[in-house]
Structure 1
Amino acid sequence: MIRGGFLSEEDRKALIALARDGSMVCRVTRRANALVLLDAGKSCQEVAEFFLCDDDTIRGWHGVFEQRGIEGLTAFDVGGSSGLMNAEQAEALKAWVNATLPRSTRHIGAWIAKEFGLVYESRSGLIALLHRLGLEYHKPELISRKLNEKTQQAQIDAYENLLNSKGDDEVVLFVDAVHPTHAARPVGCWAPKAQNLAIEQTSGRERINIHGAIDLETGQTRMIEAVTIDAISTIRLLESLEALYPLMICIHVFLDNARYHHAKLVSEWLSRPGCRIKLHFLPAYCPHLNPIERLWSVMHKNITHNKTYATCKEFAEATLDFLRDKVPRHWGRYSSTVTDNFRVISPKDFRVIA
């Protein structure tokens, strides 16, 4: 018996390169061997392992043989079977994709096979065809049903006017609340092919409540942890902002229309003599006009993506340390993401699919 593991890494790479030789003779031989193994009862996955490729490629070879016989196995059209598709069929494919918005290349390949009798050898060949036809893979954006273009533009204009007219003894901040949950958030990453990656689960039930503010000019933040986000936490945050900027005669605070921001307690606090806080309420359904929303996304990327914490206390400490210390200290790293580069979002600019 020959024991495995006798190849050096260099020899293994050289042999794999040789097995994947792109010459026509080698490609025909690989296809022929694969079909013989399939006929002997081997699965597509097993054959794919033998030939150092994916099982979709093996299915593609089988499909070509079913459609065109041995002649098809010895023909190598550019981009799989794309060379066989005529202009009329290409237009029909574009129209079908536009009408149905298929979610996978497997779905598209099945439709092409059914409608035109053409089989693509590999997913990459099919993707190349789609790109040549001006088709791309899109992820839809989430937009509100009640967006108002004029209101958004008015808000942007008012904000820019404020920045251009404010004095050196005035500061502008953005306020919002966030409620991160003590839970692992798995996201894709590059890793060696042979490794299976996992993240240990956490309870997913506990969460922390943070009422925060950020100064886009300096990256300075104020983050208040609260049992509940309400009028009391709002007042605590505004008090801390006055303490943070003792020399400023006016502290402009942009925030959303949450009920607790309009609470009677908050209004009474703001009406007291000497109050230096001035609130500017953002239009409804416009979180894209509040840059601190982008800070929450940056926080998740750095704190929750592919990371886990044994206890909610550890999770809270890591989150607050990032928001309170790391963001201001490394503002140059995050300032290009957490910006006031606002734009008007119009439903007319999108094809609303649902």
Structure 2
Amino acid sequence: MLPIELSKADLDAVKMMKNSQSCERVRNRLWVLWFLHEGFKRKDVARLAGCAPNTVTLCVKTYNEGGIDAILTPLVTETAVVDRHFLGKDFDKVREGLIEECIHTVRHAQSFLEKKFGYQASWESTRRLLHRLGLRFRKVNPFPGNVKKFDEWVLKQKEWIEHLHGLHKQALNSKIDLVFCDSVHFVYGQFSSYLWSDSAKYKSTGSGRYRFNVYGAYDPVSNSLVSHYGEESVDADFVTGFMTWLRKEHYPDQSRPLHFILDNARYQHCQYVKDVAATLNIILEFQPSYSPNLNLIERAWKYIKKLVGRSYYATKQEFFQTIVHILENTSEEEHQQNFDTLLTMNFQTYEKSQILGG
């Protein structure tokens, strides 16, 4: 191992910049110097810095020959030079071409760049090029609307959001009560979640496809979530029963209108539900078609599904009991804090440029 001795000034520079350097390679070199100063052996430094032992030796050699200035000078490889020349010439065209092509993999990008621009590069160089162009590997999320009627759909959503904010303002002033309502179905054996781990992990799934059905209401003023649940189907009778219970137990003042924000499920649109709602002074507010992004309770269901997916359930009873426990304890501080940030009156909107095929 080559000898190295950092001056106090250089050591102070390393200590200050090892976390803040924008260049990854320079940052790694600074960490190598820091670990060496702390007395680690070369192989341990390589492991801690995430590099090869030879890189540690090269870093020491670079410092001995050129000091801290050499360490802080980014490496300019042949590939980088080619990329800079290539980008300088056709930066906008390349970026627009890649976006229009809808690149799914780095291999796809390699093939496209070679055919379209005559640019040949390794997998890693292409990956870095994509990042330099400001592209990121993102999941394509589902879009609920009809692309062909996008402008009309966006206008309806905008008007509805303004209407919701008006209702919310009235609810804050105690002129009305406001709840967002919807059903959710938990299927036994289908739940899993993400976690940080050192390798791929697997979780046993239950047998069968038992469904646990929930119909609930979220009040954005009180930040409360209440629900009815069971194995029976959610239909018009289920909804009217929930309405009657909710009005009696939670909103007993029938002189104050109770506004239900609903999707367009057929059983909620039937005349029977509308008649029962009228007798209870409940006003049914049906959101625009294909607009799950405008119903706050959808976010609550997504949050609960993530909680349920964390564990393995040997029986459907354990599965159902876990869901019930969460639903019955949404007033706990942990859930309330999450509701405060998740269930705000800020709604997702879409730009046409974001829609594939638009």
Larger CA deviation: 335-344 vs 107-116: 107-116
- The one-letter amino acid paired with 1:20 is P
What is aligned with 1:292?
A: 297
Of the three residues 310, 322, 328, the one matched with 2:326 is 322
Query: Alignment partner of 1:228: what SS?
Result: coil
Query: Alignment partner of 1:257: what SS?
Result: coil
Q: Deviations over 1:199-219 (max 9, x none)?
A: 112225111111111111222
Q: Distance in 2 between matches of 1:100 and 1:345?
A: 21
Higher relative contact order (CA 8 A, sep 6+): 1
Tell me which protein shows more helix as a share of its residues.
2
Query: Alignment partner of 1:176: what SS?
Result: strand
Q: CA RMSD in A?
A: 3.2
Structure 1 residue 286: Cα displacement: 1.1
- The one-letter amino acid paired with 2:275 is E
What is aligned with 2:338?
A: 333
- The one-letter amino acid paired with 1:180 is F
Q: Judge conservation of contact 1:179–1:207 (CA < 8 Å) in 2.
A: yes
What is aligned with 1:206?
A: 210
Structure 1 residue 149: Cα displacement: 2.5
Q: Deviations over 1:116-142 (max 9, x none)?
A: 47433x63x543322222323233332
Q: Judge conservation of contact 2:191–2:308 (CA < 8 Å) in 1.
A: no
Residues 1:236 and 2:267 aligned together: no
- Sequence identity percentage: 24
What is aligned with 1:307?
A: 311
Structure 1 residue 112: Cα displacement: 5.0
Q: Judge conservation of contact 2:103–2:109 (CA < 8 Å) in 1.
A: yes
Taking structure 1 as reference, are residues 14 and 184 closer, same or farther at Cα in structure 2, changes over 3 Å only? farther
Structure 1 residue 230: Cα displacement: 0.5
Residues 1:183 and 2:183 aligned together: no
Taking structure 1 as reference, are residues 266 and 89 closer, same or farther at Cα in structure 2, changes over 3 Å only? closer
Q: Judge conservation of contact 1:80–1:126 (CA < 8 Å) in 2.
A: no
Of the three residues 274, 277, 281, the one matched with 2:282 is 277
Q: Judge conservation of contact 1:130–1:136 (CA < 8 Å) in 2.
A: yes
Q: Deviations over 1:76-98 (max 9, x none)?
A: 96477232232346566435423
What is aligned with 1:31?
A: none
What is aligned with 1:259?
A: 266
Q: Distance in 2 between matches of 1:262 and 1:352?
A: 32
Taking structure 1 as reference, are residues 110 and 153 closer, same or farther at Cα in structure 2, changes over 3 Å only? closer
Q: Judge conservation of contact 2:46–2:56 (CA < 8 Å) in 1.
A: no
Q: Deviations over 1:252-278 (max 9, x none)?
A: 211112111122321232343xx2322
Q: Judge conservation of contact 1:221–1:328 (CA < 8 Å) in 2.
A: no
Q: Judge conservation of contact 1:207–1:312 (CA < 8 Å) in 2.
A: no
What is aligned with 1:108?
A: 109
What is aligned with 2:55?
A: 22
Structure 1 residue 314: Cα displacement: 1.5
Q: Distance in 1 between matches of 2:276 and 2:174?
A: 25
Q: Distance in 2 between matches of 1:15 and 1:138?
A: 31
What aligned pairs does 1:56-71 form with structure 2 within 5 A after superposition? none
Structure 1 residue 16: Cα displacement: 3.4
Q: Which runs of 5+ in 1 are unaligned?
A: 1-9, 27-75
Q: Distance in 2 between matches of 1:186 and 1:172?
A: 33
Query: Alignment partner of 1:201: what SS?
Result: coil
Structure 1 residue 105: Cα displacement: 1.7
Query: Alignment partner of 2:178: what SS?
Result: strand
Of the three residues 61, 80, 83, the one matched with 2:81 is 83
